[in-house]
Copies of this chain bind each other. A is one copy, B any other.
Amino acid sequence: MDPKTHALFVERARIIKALAHPSRLYIVDRLSQREHCVQELAELVNADISTVSRHLSILKNVDIVKDEKRGTKVFYSLHTPCVLNFFGCVEKVIKSSARERADLLEKES
């Protein structure tokens, strides 16, 4: 693999890695409805505020979300909404594997 191709796939993985966590996926899901401040998100994902703040900085580092400070609060919103397209395919994968497990069960019975 030539260096440029390698760099491209490293970069792609960097983006996908940022999404590869249940809390971060849920945060993205909530932000797809409307902006939220850190505190609100912490309640939604039911985790320590500092933990959520770290999740948000990971998402911000790859520009999936953006932040805007208003007063003492920081409001986060989706910067690249197309990441929501991921979910559609992910559901397909889940269903496909669920179907296979079901098929397998039928054959076994």
Which residues of chain A have a CB within 8 Å of any CB of chain B?
Answer: 1, 5-6, 9-13, 15-17, 19-26, 29, 44-46, 62-64, 79-80, 82-83, 85-90, 92-94, 96-97, 100
Contacts of A80 in B (CB 8 A): 89, 92-93, 96
Q: How many copies of this protein are present in the complex?
A: 2
20 additional contacts (CB under 8 A) given A6-B22, A62-B97: A1-B44, A9-B23, A9-B25, A10-B22, A11-B94, A12-B90, A13-B24, A13-B25, A15-B94, A16-B20, A16-B86, A17-B21, A19-B20, A62-B93, A79-B96, A80-B92, A80-B96, A82-B88, A82-B92, A85-B85
A12 engages B16 (CB within 8 Å): no
